[in-house]
Structure 1
Amino acid sequence: MPRLRGAATERRTRLRFALLVAPLSMLAPFSLDTYLPSFPAMAEALAVDGVAMQATLSAYLVAFAVATLIAGPLSDAYGRRPVVLWALLAYVLTSVLLVFAMEYWQVLALRMGQGLAAAAGVVVGRALIRDRFDPTDARRVFALVTMMFAIGPAAAPIIGGWLQAAFGWRSVFAFLTLYGVFLLLAVRAWMPETLPPVGRVSSHPRPVIRGYLGTLHNPAFLFPVAVHAGMFGAMFLFIAASPTIIYEHLQGGEQDFWWLFGPLVAGLVVGGFVAGRVAGVVSPQRAVAIGLGLSGLSLALVGLAVLADGPVAAITGPFALYSFALATAMPSLTLLALDCYPGARGMAAAMQAFVQLGFSALLALFLVDWLDDAMGRLVLAALLLWALALAAWLVAPGGGRAGTARTLH
């Protein structure tokens, strides 16, 4: 009986942490995707073209990626809670200023400010979970977060489309302001400090830089990070190109972004549920292998539908399988990377996020505007990224098994 009560208590603790971390993680897709339906209206209002609007997306991602490298070590040195609180305050301020922005350069600069501020939630959230839970329970919590996080990528463009149709593009940034205020109040009220002073490390630049450089020479860390970046990047190509996909290729409107994002969220929710249920049965290495196999199959189905000039459901439906595969692999890839640095998980989570988001920023900046002229190009590029992720996993030392844990120093 005491064992049953203990198990129930642990389940409630896992759920409580997931309910706290997931909204923080959702700040990234909300900031990224909510304004996508407003691209044409913003371009007209600011007198710029589509390439300039893609630059606002890239600016956010570049700033986000750089900020992860700062937020992670700061949370290792000063604790998780204060870093998140100050970052959320900065996010609210930049979002308010975006509501009143009048010039393109103001939007570009403030989007960079949003990216700098939003990074802490993602990085610290990952470290927070691993601080508190053992590897198996951490995978279960990461899976729960994935299920809840899935609401963000699906709801963001749908909400953005409704707001754009009803009130115009400035209302999108008013919504992001309110979401930031909600997170600020929730973190202040309920987020615990999971890193006691005795477990903190120096924030001096020299050991931090040495630690980051050390990750670049650690194959056990780099390979799961590279696989994660490749799998996410293949999906991100379609997310970044979604305005062109919906408006031009599929002939949809402002409120039709659910055609693409609906299947994505369905797959993430189901995949997160399955990943949590099998965390104690299926090894992390096997979970990643399954995710890679299913993601390749889904891209092949999308390619066949595009070649056959199939209906909307045939083209976008297989993305449910892709996001299912990503949700299956993502908790294990995150765990394998963080466990390489148990004494500096903030740094490890920061480097993982930097590679993932930095790579996505490069895709948005240099490839998406060229690829989105044809759906076939997008599919081929996604298949190439998937193949690179598969190759990284196949050549990973020890078949992806975690290497010897290292310290920051």
Structure 2
Amino acid sequence: MSTASVPLPNWITYVLIPLVNLVLAFLVSGFVVWLIGENPIDALVLLVQGALGNGEGIGFTLFYATSFIFTGLSVAVAVHAGLFNIGSEGQAYLGGLGCALVALALDHYVPWYVTMPFAIVGAAIFGAAWAFVPAWLQAKRGSHIVITTIMFNFIGAPLMVYLLAHVLIVPGKMAPETRTFLEGGQLPKLDWLMAMFDTTIGSAPLNVSFLIALVMAFLVWLLIWRTKLGYEMRTLGLSPTAAVYAGIPYARTVIIAMLISGGLAGMMALNPVMGSSARLQVEFVGGAGYVGIAVALMGRNHPFGIILAAILFGVLYQGGDAVSFDMPEINRNMILMIQGLVILFVGALEFMLRPTFVRIYQTLAGARAVS
């Protein structure tokens, strides 16, 4: 039997192996930092202090993590149905259009807590709509979901540029962006949350969308492991042939899973559009859709793991800025390399150490059985 298919306790599969892989990623990163003449220990201390050393750093870390939670959940929902949705980036772009249109329409008339639920629905609908065509092509025509979703990313980005430059732009302005939303279209900061811990978020744009992301993570857990639809999705992901034989409708399940996935990606836009900049701008997604793939891989497609992985990437983003400021030799490209190593070891090389852990576990289990 292949070591990849040998069952191991959950604490080994979901905690110990990812943790060891993460340590290896940081060891290799530290070696590279040492090669360029900087002290890796000092760099690690700066990274942690910059991300978690004060309220403002924590605020920025959780702000970045919020976007990654949404896109990580988006990827995970699709993966459970056997689909690899590469299109979260484009779906988030369209989600931004959905929530911006709601904010522009309502911010004059109602407070933010009335606008917010409509914006959530708008972002989810627009994101889901952008996922519908790839889902239909996969379900009805057999087109590969990876190809169609990534192509839709390249369609979504220029579409947003056109709309912002020619349709939604403020007359007389050069910048391709909407007008700034009034207070009724802005998500408030979470100052009160940080005040509970005797600190402040300063200029960090941490906002209510962080709480929305946590709620969505809980709802995804309920969907995948506590509903009939979630069971059908997981069955389809494990074996499409067995799922169809058991009477699970293939096309319907694929389309619904992708609509949910696209909706979650679209909701990511709440964080930067209504929470941070209070307007729709070009490239507001900032690669969060692609980072979501790494977050889902690292979190083993479980909502709790995705939250932890998203916070880790938030630490890398925020702490990386602090490191590059105090250690100019470690520039933004070096931080991207460290992120890539984390993805490589924890995601792509998930099974690198698994054979060793399987042998150790089987040896220990055998020894306990003999005794």
User: How would you bin the TM-score normalised by the shorter chain?
Assistant: 0.3 to 0.5
Q: Could you state the TM-score of these two structures normalised by the residue count of structure 2? A: 0.33
Q: Could you state the TM-score of these two structures normalised by the residue count of structure 1? A: 0.31
Which structure has the greater CA radius of gyration?
2
The structure whose residues are more often helix, as a share, is: 1
- With a CA cutoff of 8 Å and minimum separation of 6, indicate the structure with the bigger relative contact order: 2
